[in-house]
Amino acid sequence: MTIHNIESLEAFKETIAKNEVVIVDAFATWCGPCKAIAPTLAKWAESPEFKDKVHFAKFDVDAVPALAQELGIRAMPTFIFFKDGEKVDNFAGANPPALLKLLNKHSGIASE
């Protein structure tokens, strides 16, 4: 499993409809913090504790402005969690410990 690239508003809607738990990374190619956290997110997408429980997706806010507007993105990176097609959480910033806590929460892994 990898991080799936979303290239349209329709693809986003299909992604959250087809997958029980989805984390969406709203990023920009020019964003330093986005580049800094990307390898950590990629590592989590491959890790056994999340691999089959969370669908990792991302989109470039400049390439898919309609989706950025639909989701109300105001800062990058912004991570939005969806469960059964509904938005359940969001987090802005490149803060791996805080993001990991939310990943654990929404994948069903109890956090300390």
The catalytically annotated residue of 3, 21, 22, 34 is 34
Instruction: Give yes or no: 52 in active site.
Output: no
Backbone angles phi, psi at 45, to 5 degrees: -60, -30
Is 16 labeled as catalytic in the residue annotation? no
Under a CB-based contact definition with an 8 Å cutoff, are residues 108 and 53 in contact? yes
Catalytic residue among 26, 31, 64, 94: 31
Residues classed as catalytic: 31, 34
